[in-house]
Amino acid sequence: MATQKKPVLGRTLSDIGIKKAGEGVHALLRGGTPINNPSIYEVELALIDANPLQPRTEFDDEALNELSESIKQLGIIQPVTLRKLDNGRYQIISGERRCRASRMAGLEKVPAYIRTANDDQMLVMALVENIQRQDLDPIEVSISFQRMIDECGFTQENLGERVGKQRSTVTNFLRLLKLPDEIKLGLRRRLISMGHAKALLSVDDKNDQIYLFERILNEGLSVRETEEISREMKEGTKPKTKKTKNTNNNYKELEEKLNGVFKSKVKFSRTDKGNGKIVIPFSNDQDLERIIGLFDKINSI
Q: Which residues are catalytic?
A: 96
Region class of 24: left (phi > 0), else alpha (psi between -120 and 50), else beta: left
Strands (E) in the chain, as ranges, are 32-34, 41-44, 48-49, 80-84, 90-94, 109-115, 267-270, 276-279
Nearest to 53 by CA among 140, 116, 135: 140
Contacts of 96 by beta carbon, 8 Å cutoff, 6+ apart: 50, 51, 54, 56, 59, 80
Residue pair 29/41 in contact by the 8 Å Cβ criterion = yes
Rg (CA), the chain: 23
- Name 223's Cβ contacts closer than 8 Å, sequence gap at least 6: 193, 195, 196, 199
Strands 32-34, 41-44: pairing kind = antiparallel
Amino acid code (one letter) for 202: S
Query: With left for phi above 0 and alpha for psi between -120 and 50, is residue 68 left, alpha or beta?
Result: alpha
Distance separating alpha carbons of residues 139 and 149, to the nearest angstrom = 15
Helix (H, G, I), strand (E, B) or coil at 301: coil
* d(C-alpha 25, C-alpha 48), whole Å: 16
Give the separation between CA 78 and CA 110, rounded to whole angstroms: 10
